[in-house]
Amino acid sequence: MRVPVTIKDIARICKVSTATVSRTVNGKENGVGTKTRSRILAAISKTGYTPNAIARSMVTRRTNTIALIVPDICNPFFAELARGVGDACHEKGFHLFLCNTDGSPEQEHGQVQFLHEKLVDGMIMTTQNVVEDNTDIAKFIKEGYPFVAIERYVSGVTVPLQLNIDNKGGIKRAVSYLVSRGHRRIAFIRGPREAANAKMRFDGYREGLAAHHIPYDPGLVVYGDYKMQSGYDGINRILKKAGTSGEAPSGKKFTAVIGCSDLMTVGACSALLDQKIRIPQDISVVGFDNIPLTGMIYPRITSVGVSINELGRTAAEMLLNRIKGARENRDILMPCTLTERGSVRSLASAKRSLYE
């Protein structure tokens, strides 16, 4: 087994100090002559010496690594987010640790502690999609440790670097879009009870209805958990309540449904198609997040959301700038846009729906 070459070996071969080798390796020109530098670099090339990153980080207190912590890596939203963060890191010479918590505050705390101890230069912490445990965030704020919060709502403190989606405005846009196409009885599959962004999206639904003088009907609303199966089950619960006539418990029928996430919306579409209910001829559908999947399946789903890749890139750039010394606090709210596809029909110009 070959013994690794150390910085002391290079110093001995070149008859210089380890400090001179270190300055050469780190690109510092002060105190190292041209001939000496050339001799050291030749020795490094010949011996295959690789600097010890751990030892270097103990001296510099920098590892050029950051961490991204997400609740569900199987969710395409977080996969696309990670791609945006990773691309920005690559361009700036940083490396990325990706950690999945399964939405567990306990798992997140354990991973945060481990990463913090291992000298990760900073972290991007996303929503947990459950009751948020912000103990670690409060600690980071007190320490001045670099981090960015994405969709992580912390009450009572100022988060230095915060990046959020206009959840309420996005759903209000979806409601207005459906109303403009003749829909007034709109069902809603909402997110987890505990998630702050799910509450904002539900508020957007309520306010969107009120803005168009449409009474709120609780019989048209069910809870989900942002996952596909809950969308499938949720729309089935609404249909079961409605019966074959398509009526909600209040006696009102529905012609459209909004899913609080695209994955739930995809699940709802699957359930509708399983019951031979056509999209959009019988029920119109709008999702939230605008993940790439919504443009690839049939029917292609109209959805509201932000550029997820840009969200990730922006978060990474904010964090890297803070690591490099920027002190300006930033609180960014990213507006949602609506992408029309093939899952909504206009009631004014089409035959009546089975569920009208």
What is the four-CA torsion angle of 85, 117, 53, 8, rounded to 10 degrees?
170
Same domain, 85 and 231: no
Give the pLDDT confidence score for residue 58 in this predicted structure.
47
Based on the domain organization, do 94 and 137 belong to the same domain?
Answer: yes
Q: Do 298 and 330 belong together in one domain? A: no
211 and 319, same structural domain?
no
Please check whether residue 17 lies inside any domain of the structure.
Answer: yes
Do 343 and 214 belong to one domain? yes
Q: Name the residue range of residue 243's domain.
A: 167-305+339-349
Name beta bridge partners: 123: 67, 147
Residue 223 tokens, joined: 């809870």
* Sequential pLDDT tens for the chain (356 residues): 566 778 888 889 898 888 888 888 776 767 788 888 888 888 888 888 776 655 555 455 567 899 999 999 999 999 999 999 999 999 999 999 999 998 888 899 999 988 887 779 999 999 877 767 788 888 899 889 999 999 998 877 889 999 999 999 999 999 999 999 999 999 999 999 989 999 999 999 999 999 999 999 999 999 999 999 999 999 999 998 865 444 444 445 899 999 999 999 999 999 999 999 999 999 999 999 999 999 999 899 999 999 999 999 999 999 999 999 999 999 999 999 999 999 999 996 544 444 44
Measure the CA angle with vertex 283, ends 278 and 288; round to 5°.
115
3-state secondary structure of 138: helix
Q: Can you tell me the distance from the alpha carbon of 265 to that of 271, in angstroms, rounded to the nearest whole number?
A: 10
Q: The whole model's pTM is what? A: 0.81
CATH number of the domain bearing residue 121: 3.40.50.2300
- Residue 84: the pLDDT is 97
Number of domains in the chain: 3
Cis peptide before 280 (omega within 30 of 0): yes
Verify that 206 and 226 share a domain, yes or no: yes
